[in-house]
Amino acid sequence: MKLLSKFLILFGMGLFLSSFFLPAVYITSEIELNGFYAFLLNLSMLFYVENALEYSEYVFMILTNVWVGFLFIRYWRKNVNRMLTYGVVALTIASGLYWVFRVEDTSSLLIGFWTWLVGALFISGANILKGKNEA
């Protein structure tokens, strides 16, 4: 199980990082944004938030990348609080899957988005497996 969790964390981070260079969103026939530009576009949407509900939704969606980085670092620590890790795993999975339901037309999502989502899920799964190995 330890080998499986290490494979998942490394493969997941490879997928997650490579997703920033792959085409992620199809805008028009001439415009396809890679993952990094889609991330920057989402960051710029902060200026168009109108109320507190939209702001909380924006924060929930944008923090997925932060939570994935947190889980990757947390995986390599020796003494961790498993409840905090499981909470962050739940937030990562929920916000990652929320992207799928938030997009009106999922046919506009390209391989970069799905690579990003699978990478986040693999990193979350590796943290869950590591927690089960230590218990």
Q: Residue 92 has which token pair?
A: 């990562």
pLDDT, residue 89, reads 95
Tokens encoding 89: 């795993």
Residues of the chain with pLDDT under 70: 135
Residue 114 has a pLDDT of 94
The pLDDT of residue 15 is 96
Residue 34's φ and ψ, nearest 5 degrees, are -80, 175
Round the CA-based radius of gyration of the chain to a whole number and report it. 16
Map tokens 């929920």 to a residue: 94
Q: What is the pLDDT of residue 80?
A: 78
Would you state the pLDDT for residue 102?
Answer: 84
For residue 81, what are the β-bridge partners?
Answer: none
pTM more than 0.75: yes
- C-alpha–C-alpha distance, residues 63 and 127, integer Å: 18
